[in-house]
Amino acid sequence: GESVGLHLPTLSVQEGDNSIINCAYSNSASDYFIWYKQESGKGPQFIIDIRSNMDKRQGQRVTVLLNKTVKHLSLQIAATQPGDSAVYFCVWNAGNMLTFGGGTRLMVKP
Amino acid sequence: EAQVTQNPRYLITVTGKKLTVTCSQNMNHEYMSWYRQDPGLGLRQIYYSMNVEVTDKGDVPEGYKVSRKEKRNFPLILESPSPNQTSLYFCASSFSQGAAYEQYFGPGTRLTVT
């Protein structure tokens, strides 16, 4: 698989604010993208996905934006809550394999 | 309850002693996969299986073996563990062949090789 970032940046937001987590992916042939949330001591949990024929998809309090031109993916969380504190991974497929980005830690301040 | 289970959850072993980490899913999923997670490196795919008797290498297969004799089980085998295999391991499954569907992850197995 292609390389992914090794850096784990941290985003700190105030409770109630909106959060935006960004991801640069590396495989131009990818056609499926996912955001996972991982809380401490747990396995990754699916949040939302998007296929390459779309540029935006909304879920409950979350929106994923895809810009294939610049290979950029973002996750927007509305009205961030303390329970949103976790590490967030963007993931993309390469054929039948999945590649995980390096992750972003979201910290929500009460 | 739909779930992916892994056993053991924690394991400390010595270099060279063969071990197996089991993974089982009760969702009749076709696709199963193993990942390892190391600090600062995210998750890296070790092996995956599209269906029974079909397995393929992921990004980091060296030192690992898998088998898929039954649809529900996908054990990870370390024939001769080494300290660089100390890691947190996750098993995952999804309902359809291929990786382009939501994957359900197990709770993880923390392995320490001394």
CB B108 to CB A43 under 8 A?
yes
* Rounded-to-integer distance, Cα B74 and Cα B48, Å: 9
b/e code B42-59 from CB counts within 10 Å (16+ = b): bbbbbbbbbeeeebeebb
- Which tens digits make up the pLDDT trace of B27-55? 999 999 999 999 877 899 999 999 999 99
Q: Which B residues, 14 through 73, put their C-beta within 8 Å of a C-beta on chain A?
A: 31, 33, 35, 40-45, 48, 50, 56, 58-59
pLDDT of A103 higher than 80:
yes
Burial class of residue A60 in the structure, from the number of CB atoms within 10 Å of its CB (0-12 exposed, 13-18 middle, 19+ buried): exposed
If we measure between CA atoms, which residue out of A43, A64, A41 comes closest to residue A54? A64
Say if residue A6's pLDDT is above 50.
Answer: no
User: How many angstroms separate the CA of residue A3 from the nearest CA in chain B?
Assistant: 10
Residue A16 pLDDT exceeds 90: yes
B99 vs A41, A45, A98: nearest CB: A98
**Residue B102 carries which DSSP code?**
P
Q: Which residues of B touch A97 (CB under 8 A)?
A: 45, 48, 56, 58-59, 99
More confident residue, B99 or B63: B63
